[in-house]
Amino acid sequence: MAMNKQLNPASFMELLLDAVCAVDSDGRFVFVSAAGEQIFGYTPEEMVGHSMLAFIHPADRERTLAAAGKIMAGQPNPHFENRYIRKDGKVVHIMWSARWSESNQMRIAVARDVTERKRAESMQAALFAISEAAHAAENLPALYQQIHQIIGELLPAQNFAVALYDAASQQLSVPYQVDTRPADAPLTPPDLCALGNQVITSGQPLLWQRQLNQPECAAELDDPLLQSWLGVPLCASMGVTGVLILKSYHASMSYTLQHQELLQYVSTQIATAIERKQLHSRLQHLAQHDALTGLPNRALLNDKLQNALTKAIRHNSRVALLYLDLDNFKHINDSLGHTTGDLLLQAVASRLSQCVRGSDSVARIGGDEFIVLIENHLRPEHASLVAEKIQQAFATPIDVNACALQVHVSVGVAHFPEHGSNGQQLLSHADDMMYQMKKQRRGQHAR
């Protein structure tokens, strides 16, 4: 004989993994099924009678109210996502399927916990964003900033630093650091180093939580404000190249193993992005600088000159160029050797750089030819003063390989706007002036 089972839909409801909820027109929970406790951390009794808004993540409240308004106006919504704050403080992502019941004057909805899916999605999105940033960021500082932003989407990252290890000098430097610690106790980069170095040496992440009374294994943990410290190694093709560092100064926020795993998950991609950008920067530097003296080369000078002229035209201001060429440099090479000639060129570059302000530039455009680009000056006499200063600087011989070498420099000056409207014309004018000076000097010596 077949069993005559009585159907009891209410008992099915208790078994559902998704929570069934009813919310009245004032936005209060009227009913929450048993699954609600698993999802929200509150028992249905703790939720019923309370405003739905009280449980919603503050950043999602406005959006949720707008969606609720539409549902109450008769537009069912089977795919609305928002975040709730669980009783244990954790954030839970909910996918709602909701409609308005006119007869009951309630929103009837089913809530599904999609936190795991969201986590996987945001980790994928972070990886994608990091590889995008590696291509799009203009330079390394911009890349660090973008990495900070991307990590901030994944976990609390108010206090974040990138520390990089230089294997040659065995030093850890901190090229990027945002620290919200009160200004009366400023943080200096060496404070980061002890723990950072531990991460580098071990190649393992390091998580310190004050609340666990972990031993203070480094001086930086003496800081009474510090609640938690998390460092994850950056492992690239060359091994461990640095550390990503997160810190918390809030007793309510301590980094956990879950945070550590998240950071580790993206750290390899970040290490690769930094490595790629560093390589790019090195290649760019090589392409724009003279290998012997480290000064900007002709290509970079042309860029700088173009920028200077664009600014000068916009602000109705001046630009001056000094074209410098050493006299009889060939003789130094021929008599003392090419190596001495190289050392002399390096010393000349350094002496020239000391004669100009930070806003001016010195470039090496050929064997013994240098250019000084002078910006931000009011009168032509200023450029003449710089030229004089250079001649005075070279009045003292330069010591190279125990030889005191007397260097003479011929200098030609060109002014914008008087001697040309573009870089080419200015360089050509300054070259002509320099050559005239050289001819004059030769004439004087011949006499």
Binding residues for ligand GTP (CB under 6 A): 292, 325-330, 333, 338, 341-342, 345, 367-368, 438
Tokens standing for residue 162: 């990138």
Residues 241, 225: Cα–Cα separation, whole Å: 29
What is the nearest approach in angstroms of ligand GTP to the Cβ of residue 338?
5
How many angstroms from the chain centroid is the CA of residue 125? Answer: 18
CB of 342 to ligand GTP, least distance (A): 5
Residue 333 or residue 428: which is nearer to ligand GTP going by CB? 333
Element (H, E) at 415: strand 409-416
Q: How far is the CB of 362 from ligand GTP (least distance, A)?
A: 16
Regarding beta strands 403-405 and 409-416, do their DSSP bridges make them parallel or antiparallel, or are they unpaired? unpaired
Nearest distance in Å: CB 140, ligand GTP: 29
Q: Which two tokens stand for residue 375?
A: 């910006």
Q: Which is nearer to ligand GTP, 260 or 293 (CB)?
A: 293
Closest to ligand GTP by CB, 322 or 326: 326
Which of residues 296 and 341 has its CB atom nearest to ligand GTP in the complex?
Answer: 341
Which residue, 209, 168, 423, 216, is CA-closest to 303? 423
Q: How far apart are CA 65 and CA 262, in angstroms?
A: 32
Determine the longest span between alpha carbons in the chain, in angstroms: 135
Strands, DSSP E only, in 36-90?
Answer: 77-85
Nearer to ligand GTP, 317 or 346 (CB): 346
- Cβ proximity to ligand GTP, 117 vs 338, nearer residue: 338
Dist. CA 24–CA 11, nearest whole Å: 23
E strands, 68-127, in order: 77-85, 91-101, 106-113
